[in-house]
Amino acid sequence: MAEINQPIPYLEAVNLTKRYEDGLLALDHVSFSVFPGQIYAMLGANGAGKTTTINLFLNLIEPSEGEARINGTVTHRDPLVAKSQVAFVSENVMLYGGFTAVQNLEFFARLGGKRHYTRGDLRDILLRVGLPSEAHDKRVRGYSKGMRQKCGIAIAILKDTPAILLDEPTSGLDPKAGWEFTQLLGSLRQEGKAVLMSTHDIFRAKEVADVVAIMNQGRLIMERSAAQVAQLDLQQLYMDHMAGRAELSATEV
Amino acid sequence: MLKTIIEKEVRELISSSRFAIAMSVCAVLIILSFVSGAQEYHAAQRQYEAAKAENLRQVSGVTDWLMVRHNRIFLPPDPVAAVVTGVSNDIGRTVEVSGRGELSAEDTRFEGEPLFAVFRFLDLEFVFGFVLSLLAILLGYDAVCGEKERGTLRLVFSNAVPRATFVFGKLLGALAGLIPVLVIPLLLGCLVLVVMRIPMAAVDWVRLAFVIATGLLFVVVVVAVAVMVSAVTHRSSHAFLALLVIWVFAVFVVPRTAVLLAGRAVDVPSVDKLAAEKAAYSRQLWQQSREQLASFTPTKTDDVGQMMKEFQQTMEKQSDERDKNMQELSGRLNESRANGQRIQAGWAFALARLSPLASFTLAATALAATDLKMKDRFEDEAYAYQTDYARFMKAKTGMVPGAGMIIMKMKHGGEEEPKPVDPRELPEMQHRKPPLAGAVTAALPNVGLLMIWGLGAFAGAFIAFLRYDLR
């Protein structure tokens, strides 16, 4: 009965492995789960495998072994169903420069099968992510990175999916925008979304995540709950892992 | 989903400055091609009327049909040929008909106005083949790889978008943006023909519509190739370079190389060689005639009139024989040359069709009746006219001219002053355009090839995009 009551993870990696044609092992048997209302932060240096993990969830690449599942659907077996249940915000949100923010949102809403939004709804979402109304009808070409990130987050919100993938979403955001983003993540958690976030930002990870994981050279080498993380000097631990000083066994994961 | 992508493509395309610039250039060139075509038609019509009038004027000064030595026929200008010139300016437009013997068309448009031969005319074939194809490349080269470069591809494919839908949407979106913008100046161009009073018959409009449809099909092919290349490459600069190379090969290298290779592969005797053979045979026949004439003996030597009549009959008999023999040889040589040319053209066209431009050119010129067969058709009409003319002259003079005869007219005192002949009695050349059904049939294989090119390029784009790295 206990197993039956166990909530189904919205995002799940099972022995997820990616070896490229040139032999590079980008991801090495990574397993984790992100449950509804949970924010899962993946920390790691460049090349650690964070973006590869997200690309596998988005089926932009196919796994060499293992599976990525979104709400129980294996992404590489049924990518369209899987992707209809996940939203994505990249490190550097790139939009159609000739379109306004509203037009971009309109397009991506329709692409995500959400045709019911009015322009007023779209403006409300843009306001919610902190994009001032005077910017809504300006071409995105002239936007700062922060403004584009906000649009990207708005696109993820309007898709209204159970799971959200964030690939270093706060990269390049100013402190105010970063704070607003943290608040937004909190509200997404309240709505029961499962959020997988890759980040370099140790402090934000500690601040918002329910689970913090550290990745290195394609392997998930540490996974801690928020309560455990609160007891740790996460920065020191992270630096130790990066420098190879920490001796953690696979069982810690 | 497909509709969403198409709408986005159209909106993105028409809001871009490069689209506005490219389409402005297209619109100006398309309308200009119609205007210049209409002007050329009027100029050619004036020239045609003047040449016909001059021919009649020369005949009108003559008092005996036997004295009519130079009767010329002219290829009338064609309204559709004004906008799709094809070979119409390269073939002779005048044939001198003497009543017998070989005919050859002379006096090409470029002979009279060599300046136009330097850069040729700005016609629809040029606009579609050279300008629109290049601008279609300019608009389609970054359809897929540009999205990857700009980073939007990853965001798009974070949604449940099938790859086939995306690439199909790209192609249809580009066409939905491009074609209406091209159709407007094309319709304005048609209006120009009406305003400039070009006498387009219903069948001419149908021909023009077919030419335009074929041109638009060619643009579709170029867009499909551009999307395919953009789905193979990952950088827009690479895609543009690759497409530029393809364009140069398709427009310049393949058609010209095809003609060159066919010319080398199939040996066709030159016109000069044929002319030399004919001249040698003609000399031989004349020599025989002279020998026979030397032994001419009239039945009566006291009746000059009877003597002249017998002499003329002998001369005409010899002319007929020479003509028959020359026709046999010419027919044989010409047929051999025509067969060689047909095989050569067959090879050249088959090889040239590796380029969609060649298929478009062949289809457009066939529809406009300005293809290679235009020359044959005019010559056939000239020979048909020569038969009518010979019959007319025989009725008027009792003999067929053109045998190099010396006509002696004896005038007796007391006879009335002869009246000048009425040149309006001369038979008219019957110029008929090839039937539309025949033109469409001739164009169909090339239109079919263009369709295959389009479908092939789209299939290529689809297959390439199935393996495209979306990251």
End-to-end CA distance of chain A: 26
In the block, which residue shows the tokens 């490459």? B233
Chain A positions in Cβ-Cβ contact with residue B160 (cut-off 8 Å): 79-81, 83-84, 112-113
Tell me the C-alpha distance between B2 and B172, whole Å. 9
8 A C-beta contact, residue A97 and residue A107: no
A134 Cα to chain B: minimum distance (Å): 21
Chain A positions in Cβ-Cβ contact with residue B152 (cut-off 8 Å): 94-96
Whether pTM > 0.95 for this model: the answer is no
Tell me the C-alpha distance between B468 and B147, whole Å. 12
φ, ψ for residue B245, nearest 5 deg: -65, -45
Of the candidates B152, B157, B159, the beta carbon closest to that of A95 is on B152
Q: Coil, strand, or helix at residue B277?
A: helix
8 A C-beta contact, residue B301 and residue B401: no
Helices B163-195 and B202-232, axial angle in degrees (round to 10): 150
- Among chain A residues, CA nearest to B466: A60
Tell me the C-alpha distance between A2 and B146, whole Å. 51
The structure tokens listed for B9 are 């493509």
CB neighbour list of residue B213: distance below 8 Å, 6 or more residues apart: none
Report helix, strand and coil shares of chain B as percent, to nearest 5: 70, 0, 25
In the block, which residue shows the tokens 């130790």? A240
Tell me the C-alpha distance between B256 and B308, whole Å. 59
Kindly tell me the sign of the dihedral angle through the C-alpha atoms of B136, B138, B144, B145.
positive
Per the CB < 8 Å rule, is B157 touching A58? yes
Chain B positions in Cβ-Cβ contact with residue A111 (cut-off 8 Å): 1, 4-5, 156, 159, 161
Q: Coil, strand, or helix at residue A215?
A: strand
Pairing state between β A86-89 and B71-74 = unpaired
Lateral strand order in the sheet of A73-74: A25-34, A11-19, A65-70, A73-74
From first to last of the 471 residues of chain B, give the pLDDT tens digit. Answer: 889 999 998 988 888 888 888 889 889 999 999 999 999 899 989 999 998 888 888 888 778 787 777 788 899 999 998 889 888 888 888 888 887 777 888 888 777 777 777 777 788 889 999 889 998 998 889 989 999 988 899 899 999 899 999 999 999 999 988 888 889 999 999 999 999 999 999 999 999 999 999 999 999 999 999 999 999 998 999 999 999 999 999 999 999 999 999 888 888 888 888 889 888 988 998 888 888 888 878 777 777 878 888 888 888 788 888 888 888 888 888 888 888 888 988 899 999 999 999 999 999 999 999 988 888 888 889 999 988 888 888 887 777 776 555 555 666 666 667 777 888 888 888 888 888 999 999 999 999 999 999 999 999 999 989 888 888
DSSP code string of B379-437: HHHHHHHHHHHHHHHHHHHSS---S-PPP-----TTPPPPPPP-GGGSPPP---PPPHH
Sort B231 into a burial class: Cβ within 10 Å, 0-12 / 13-18 / 19+: buried
The structure tokens listed for B462 are 């689809």
**A22 touching chain B per CB within 8 A:** no
**B234 touching chain A per CB within 8 A:** no
> What confidence tens digit (pLDDT) does each residue in A222-239 have?
888 887 877 777 777 777
User: A81-94 burial string, b = 16+ CB within 10 Å, else e?
Assistant: ebbbbbbbbbbebb
